[in-house]
Amino acid sequence: MTGGIWYWLLFAICAAWVLLTGIGVVALKNIVHAAISMVLCFFGVAFIYVLLNAELVAIIQILIYVGAISVVILFAIMLTDQLRGRLRLFFNQQSVFALPLVVAVAVVLTWILVTADLPGATSKSQNLTLAALANGLFNRYVFPFELVSLVLLAAMIGAILLTRRED
């Protein structure tokens, strides 16, 4: 899509969807409902990538964030037994203070987007092929890629050790 009225209407609907589900992540009291709101927010971001003609990034968004990250978060929620206790989550108490900050950031980012001198539709975008992406990821950036995987593994082992019950 290049920029017709339907494009902007779809973008506005999707942006509102992402904003509302993002607010749901921090405002909902039930942690499982907040996680489901996060999954819906990830789907909205993936649809925005589709609108930007970045199908590869949209697929990665769905596979990694919706598929893997959300499952890990739900797994951690179930492991920590948050649903059975009477734990009051700290971010629900602070959401009253966070809401004006979120609105202010949204207004500033909207103002920046509206007043920015963006290139027109005639500018050439840099199309990155899958082979070039794989070459950069597994050749030039292989060390940071593996370092992130080790940090995620350490976090998962730490979560398992923290939630292990002593007999």
Give the CATH number of the domain where residue 42 resides. Answer: 1.20.120.1200
- Do residues 59 and 133 both lie within one domain? no
State the residue range of the domain holding 69.
Answer: 1-115
Angle at 149 between CA 145 and CA 152, to 5 degrees: 140
pLDDT tens sequence across 9-39: 999 999 999 999 999 888 887 888 888 999 9
Mean pLDDT in residue range 106-124:
77
| Co-location of 10 and 76 in the same domain | yes
Residue 121 lies inside a defined structural domain of this protein: no
pTM: 0.58
Q: Are residues 55 and 103 in the same domain?
A: yes
35/79 same-domain check: yes
Q: Is residue 20 part of a domain?
A: yes
pLDDT at 163 over 60: yes
Q: Residues 62, 1: one domain?
A: yes
Say whether both 41 and 4 belong to one domain.
Answer: yes
156 lies in the same domain as 94: no
Residue 99 lies in a domain: yes
Range with top average pLDDT, 13-22, 29-38, 70-79, 97-106: 13-22
108 and 43: one domain?
Answer: yes
Both 148 and 109 in one domain: the answer is: no
What pLDDT does residue 53 have?
84
Give the mean model confidence (pLDDT) for residues 52-63: 85
pLDDT at 85: 46
Domain count, the chain: 2
Residue 166 pLDDT: 60
Q: Are residues 90 and 138 in the same domain?
A: no
HSE-CB at 125 with a 13 A cutoff on CA atoms is 10
